[in-house]
A and B are shown apart, each in its own frame.
Chain A
């Protein structure tokens, strides 16, 4: 009895010791900042200097902020382009990679390469690709279709270009997640389907997609959350420009806080981003579930 008690105590103490580093770091850099955000929402003041209590004043400011409104519009457009393109291409590439063809290991590795690049590398690669003088893609569109757009310097086009470049950089990663999901689908199901005379597209809609639903849900949530807070690629490609036409919400937060703006106001926007992403994730879960029930 005594020995068991002593062992339980030793176990408790070692659990405490082993957990302390992680829980301490987690508390310091996740929990405290999370709570602090809600506190900051009630104040006004820049990074330097004192905060002034403004109560719910930041919420009022939120509603009257015209630049914020166009920024939200830009972010939604970015999401509307980036998410379907990323998920659609990743699913397609995942399905191709799941086929039992030769060299699929080589294809798989090479397709992952853009996902290994830093945003700085992606930025430089695409600045060069789309450059007026030296860019092969610019040249291709110019000679084939007569387009002479400065892709990264013209308003909405720039935003769409950035959304597509961001998709280019992440398709490889998500296609391997889809591939892992596809590899988990028993092959017998397809063989049974073939016996029943199901067409390849029928197999996709009735076997692949339903069984891939949890993975699809995961990928949709991951792409949505990263698209809502898109920042890095904006920094390296357009810096929010031309003018404010590629301002996204995170870019706006960054610009305003590090341009001397109010931290409390930025915290208020970031909480709004969180509420929106929770709602969106919930909607994705509900949507995929209700289709399952049908």
Chain B
């Protein structure tokens, strides 16, 4: 990991070629990954209305598409819905999973191990199985087309509990015992010791939850039945079927919808890597 620990040696020509080949292949993968996206970003700054006009467009760049989106009440409502749902789900997931993770990691009660493995076993159940009955139940509860219906069912995923439990388990018991002797109750221990020490896994959980919720599709598609309850992602995908296609507005909406996840990734990159590493090691 330390780049300067090795003495600088002259690379043999074979090593130079190998490095060159690696760079070339990686650059090709990078181009394949981002060029299609960049093409759409560029298109969003062109005065286009349809696919034909995109093909023949040599017009100078313009902000018209973005101004159009920000002047459109419906688009703004979708953006707002996405922000509300994603913020709520992210904050609540971290709180709920941290509480449960602490209980599983450090509090002794009967059936703890059994309950945790039962919860984790359901990770293997395809969402197809619970989706329909979930919808029927949420509909019976009258939560279709409401923020509650969009938010609450997303808080039931068990993965975050496992993540939190693993990290909290690593906090030394001696620390908690010392606090107990000082007369701290479990709630005080949670707030004074666990929360500050479990900051990293909490951020890992928050960034993954943020990206997954922002991009979530099928559940909000089912639950948001009127236009004003749709999230931005669902709105983009469903409008093209109903309205006359306006490619310029769509590209601008799409680029706007990509910004939050890209920004979160740019800022919290190392937490994404931590999460993926934790995931792959624990397999």
Contact = CB atoms under 8 A, between A and B. Distances in A.
Interface of A: 7-8, 10-12, 14-16, 18-19, 21-23, 25-26, 28-34, 36-37, 40, 47, 93, 96-97, 99, 101-104, 107, 109-114, 116-121, 123-126, 128-129, 131-134, 136-137, 168, 171-173, 176-181, 183-184, 214-215, 217-218, 225, 228-229, 231-232, 235-236, 239, 249-250, 253, 257-258, 263, 266-267, 270-271, 273-274, 277-278, 281
Contacts of B135: 47
B119 A112 contact: no
B211 A218 contact: no
Contacts of B126: 225, 228-229, 270, 273-274, 277
- With most chain A CB atoms within 10 A of its CB, the pick from B122, B211, B218 is B218
Interface in B208-229: 211, 214-215, 217-218, 221-222
Contact of B37 (A32, A117, A123, A277): A117
A180 B277 contact: yes
A180 B275 CA distance: 10
A134 B36 contact: no
B62 interface: no
B262 to A, nearest CB: 6
Interface residues of B, number: 90
A102 B34 CA distance: 20
A225 to B, nearest CB: 6
CB-based closest 7 A-B pairs: A14-B186, A22-B100, A218-B283, A33-B133, A29-B156, A36-B133, A134-B55
29 contacts: A8-B108, A18-B103, A25-B156, A29-B130, A33-B131, A34-B133, A104-B26, A109-B265, A111-B29, A111-B33, A116-B261, A117-B261, A118-B215, A118-B236, A121-B40, A125-B36, A125-B39, A125-B254, A128-B36, A133-B52, A168-B32, A177-B279, A179-B276, A180-B273, A180-B276, A249-B128, A270-B132, A271-B129, A277-B126
B33 A97 contact: no
B76 interface: no
A22 B99 contact: yes
A121 B217 contact: no
Contacts of A249: 128
B107 A18 contact: yes
B132 A266 contact: yes
